[in-house]
Chain A
Amino acid sequence: MRTLKKFWIVMAMALGVLASATAIADASYREQMKGLDEQVQEVKSDVLGIAAELARLEERLLYPSNTHLAVFIALAERDTLRLDAVQIQIDGQAVAHSIYSFKELEALQKGGVQRIYTGNVPTGEHQIEVTIAGKLDTGKEYTRTERFAFTKGIEPKLLGVTLGSSELQLGDW
């Protein structure tokens, strides 16, 4: 019995030594991790700068301002519509279709705005058709289609569509 007790003490001491060694190692690793963390932050900053320049290049190259059209989707505030999908047609052509995951729907409900389409249209009169599918808070299936006319000038055109369970609204930005 005495031998067993002695063993416990030895074991406790051994584990204690191990723990303090680990603590010293931890401190050294911590410093290294901190140093690397700062370098990672710098590289993130660099890459964000590249992303910004690339975005400007893309916009100039792919969507010149005289033809640039962007369509955004927002949810009406405090609307209980459970949005499943949105389809967009411009001048009778289907241009965008989105099916919403829970995360995306939550992002819209928190006030986020989704850019669902970016493309090019000539200046002049056009028509946009928005079709939505979802569920009402009663659980009932809900679909709705609305058409809106809009004019494209020589500046970029931004259209915001606000979706709700009672109406779809087109906003001009």
Chain B
Amino acid sequence: MPRATYIVGLGLASALAAAPCAGKDLRDLYFGEALYDANQGHYFEALGRLDAELALHNGVDEPQRDSLHFHIGEAEFSVGDFELYYRMHLRAGRAIKAVLEGAVDDAVRNEAAYRLARIHFQKDQAADALVALDRISGKVPVAIRDDVEFLRANVYMALGRPAEAAAVLKRLQGAQSLTGFAAYNLGIAMLQEGHEQDAIAQLDRAGQLSVKDTGPLAIRDKSNMLLGKLALESTDFARAQQFFDRVRIDGPFSNQALLSAGWADVSAQNFERAVVPWSILAKREVTDAAVQESLLALPYAYSKLNVHGRAAVLYGDALKSFGEELTKVDASIKSIAEGRFLKALVREEIQQDKGWAIRLRTLPDAPETFYLMQLMASNDFQTALQNYLDLEELRKKMAGWQKSLDAYEDMIRLRKQNYDPLLPGIDAQFRELDAQIRLRMEQRNHLQQRLHHLLIEPRPDLLADADERIVLESIRAVEEKLQHAKGPEAAQLQQRVRRLKGVLTWTLYTTYPERLTKAHEHLNALNADVALLQKQYQQFVRSRQAAAHSYLGYDDTIDRLRTRAAEALENVNQLMAKQGHLIETVAIDELKSRRVRLEVYQTQARYAVADSYDRAAKAQGNAAPAGGGQ
């Protein structure tokens, strides 16, 4: 299915970029934090945060009382999205499948099915993608409705079912977000179906769309390039020329278009016209394959016009240029073999923006990248490069973590040094105070009980103050002594004692309500003090626990983390070496193939320059006698 390679997988990135949550109803700050990281492209941090939040949420007894509950659908989707962005397709697929199999409403299930289909499609699993798409039924969110259908069409095309793809794409021709892409893919579907004339008419429409954005503009150029090629194949050179002329002079296809336009002219035997696009192209960046071809094509056109002198000069220029480029390619191969390409890749300032691969070209010490732009733009190589960069990030993180673990251990050691000598003394003092507190609490409880009883069964004597109690005791002692005394003096004394006792009893009984009230007031004051004491007691207990928790029980965790991090670091280093080696090998192979091509060009230029000089000399020789004869 050669035509299938032309289809455009639009919509995947744009749909992924859709913000999963607006700030208006944010109820979980940590979910918001994950979004903040993800919005900046920090997917590792975003995933770390969201994984932790989801684990906490799933671990609580009543998830509906957890703040993440309000965003749980979005959070589970976001995990899948972040994993996709972080190029963890395996985990992303699992995350999305989990959503799909949960008890969710139509809109959520359909969006999950769409995302799963997208993952399968990206992984070249078109049949699985179609199975996922077939699970979509009922209400489909408006935001993804067109994307779902566009993906379905792409899947049909990948499965070699162009008629079904065309039927879907026809319905999408009015979709604003797919302007250009749906039109182009419909043309490709028609070509796959074998309806060449319809396809050309459709691609012609796609090639003349009025669009402004970079993506649709590029797809319009692509449509015209394809139309040009089809016209060339059917030897309609004039038409091919028209299509190539439609391609923007500054777009990504302009070099190829200029080259093809020249060949269309040559095929039509219009060599004079071929000189125009090739002259423009020959002045462009010489590392481009099309430009290099034009360096030979342009003098070829001149030679066909019998301008052999000009052709000879241009072949000479080409020969010189190919020699220089071969030197550059050799330097690049050497540079890559020495590991400089990988070093340039991981330079931080290079990765500051999305166009980092392009910016590599601006590095004076990365000449190899000039010849690798096409390779670097390919999906597989991009993934390999990104993986290498991700591994480098992981390596840096783990190196940092090792330092953090060292610092934590040091912190724990210092805390232990501080607390170990202090805590036994504090604990002993606390035990003593604790015993006293318990005693006082018992006393307070006893008092409370007695006062409570006094409300039910009044006992004024129990509310006598200290002086009164002493007086009462004295009276009782005197009473005892006078109990067996006889005579008038004794009777008088007994009378006085009774009077004193009567006065005291009178006082106790008449002031009883006030005394009882006061006693309760004192108890309330005591309760307030007790509450304060209990608060301080709890604070002390918490502080004491915090002191212990600040340095006890970390050893196993830190040891385990150290081991895990060391093992992971070893894996990362091994993978980096493998990934780096593969990147270098692919890059060097690419350069070698460019080198072979340059050598072929060089040989041809060398031959052609000699041939052109011969012809120029012959032409001059033929002209000279004629001139001499005059």
**Identity of the chain B residue whose Cβ is nearest the Cβ of A19 in the assembled complex:** B593
Contact A54 B404 (CB under 8 A): yes
CA distance A67 to B28 in the complex (A): 20
**Identity of the chain A residue whose Cβ is nearest the Cβ of B590 in the assembled complex:** A22
**Identity of the chain A residue whose Cβ is nearest the Cβ of B45 in the assembled complex:** A51
Chain A: interface residue total (CB-CB under 8 A): 62
CA distance A43 to B47 in the complex (A): 14
Chain A residues with CB under 8 A of B579: 36, 40
Contact A110 B35 (CB under 8 A): yes
B44 within 8 A of A: yes
Contact A47 B397 (CB under 8 A): yes
Chain B residues with CB under 8 A of A3: 611
Considering only residues 77-118 of chain A, those with a C-beta below 8 Å from chain B are: 77, 103-104, 106-108, 110-115
Contact A41 B90 (CB under 8 A): yes
Q: Give the distance to chain A from B95, nearest Cβ to Cβ, in Å.
A: 12
CA distance A133 to B600 in the complex (A): 63
Contact B600 A15 (CB under 8 A): yes
Known: A43-B391, A53-B557. A33 touches B384 (CB 8 A): yes
Binds A, one of B220-228, B431-439, B460-468, B546-554: B546-554
Interface centre among A15, A46, A51, A66 (most CB of B within 10 A): A51
Known: A30-B380, A107-B36. A22 touches B593 (CB 8 A): yes
Contact A50 B55 (CB under 8 A): no
Contact B48 A51 (CB under 8 A): yes
B303 within 8 A of A: yes
Contact B32 A113 (CB under 8 A): yes
Chain A residues with CB under 8 A of B380: 29-30, 33
Contact B23 A60 (CB under 8 A): no
Chain B: interface residue total (CB-CB under 8 A): 79
Chain A residues with CB under 8 A of B90: 38, 41
Known: A38-B90, A41-B88, A44-B86. A113 touches B23 (CB 8 A): yes
Of the residues A15, A30, A36, A44, contact of B597 by C-beta under 8 Å: A15
Contact A106 B390 (CB under 8 A): no
Give per-residue flags for A24-51: 1 if the beta carbon is below 8 A from chain B beta carbons, else 0: 0100011011001111110111111111
Known: A3-B611, A50-B568, A77-B22. A57 touches B554 (CB 8 A): yes
Known: A44-B394, A50-B568, A72-B32. A18 touches B37 (CB 8 A): no
Contact B391 A111 (CB under 8 A): no
Number of cross-chain contacts by CB at 8 Å: 190
Binds A, one of B156-164, B190-198, B475-483, B570-578: B570-578
Chain B residues with CB under 8 A of A58: 404, 408
Of the residues A7, A37, A45, A54, contact of B561 by C-beta under 8 Å: A54
CA distance A53 to B398 in the complex (A): 13
Known: A37-B87, A40-B390, A43-B571. A111 touches B48 (CB 8 A): no
**Identity of the chain A residue whose Cβ is nearest the Cβ of B31 in the assembled complex:** A113
CA distance A123 to B557 in the complex (A): 28
Chain A residues with CB under 8 A of B586: 29
Q: Give the distance to chain A from B263, nearest Cβ to Cβ, in Å.
A: 12
**Identity of the chain B residue whose Cβ is nearest the Cβ of A171 in the assembled complex:** B29
Interface centre among A18, A25, A36 (most CB of B within 10 A): A36
**Identity of the chain B residue whose Cβ is nearest the Cβ of A14 in the assembled complex:** B600
Considering only residues 39-96 of chain B, those with a C-beta below 8 Å from chain A are: 39-41, 44, 47-48, 51-52, 55, 67, 86-91
Known: A61-B408, A64-B549. A103 touches B40 (CB 8 A): yes
B335 within 8 A of A: no
Q: Give the distance to chain A from B422, nearest Cβ to Cβ, in Å.
A: 18
B135 within 8 A of A: no
Chain B residues with CB under 8 A of A30: 380
Known: A36-B579, A46-B564, A53-B557. A112 touches B48 (CB 8 A): no
Of the residues B28, B401, B601, contact of A50 by C-beta under 8 Å: B401
Q: Give the distance to chain B from A105, nearest Cβ to Cβ, in Å.
A: 10
Contact B26 A107 (CB under 8 A): no
Of the residues A45, A60, A112, contact of B549 by C-beta under 8 Å: A60
Known: A43-B394, A55-B48, A57-B557. A66 touches B37 (CB 8 A): no
Contact B394 A107 (CB under 8 A): no
CA distance A167 to B189 in the complex (A): 56
24 cross-chain CB contacts under 8 A = A4-B300, A4-B303, A18-B597, A36-B582, A37-B87, A37-B384, A39-B575, A40-B390, A40-B391, A40-B575, A44-B86, A44-B88, A46-B571, A51-B48, A57-B408, A57-B557, A72-B29, A107-B39, A108-B36, A110-B23, A111-B22, A111-B32, A111-B35, A115-B29
A-B CB proximity, top 3 nearest: A113-B32, A112-B36, A107-B39
Please report B residues at the A interface, Cβ cutoff 8 Å. Answer: 19, 21-24, 26, 28-29, 32-33, 35-41, 44, 47-48, 51-52, 55, 67, 86-91, 300, 303, 380-381, 383-384, 387, 390-391, 394, 397-398, 401, 404, 408, 411-412, 539, 542, 546, 549-550, 554, 557-558, 560-561, 564-565, 568, 571-572, 575, 578-579, 582, 585-586, 589-590, 593, 596-597, 600-601, 604, 607-608, 611
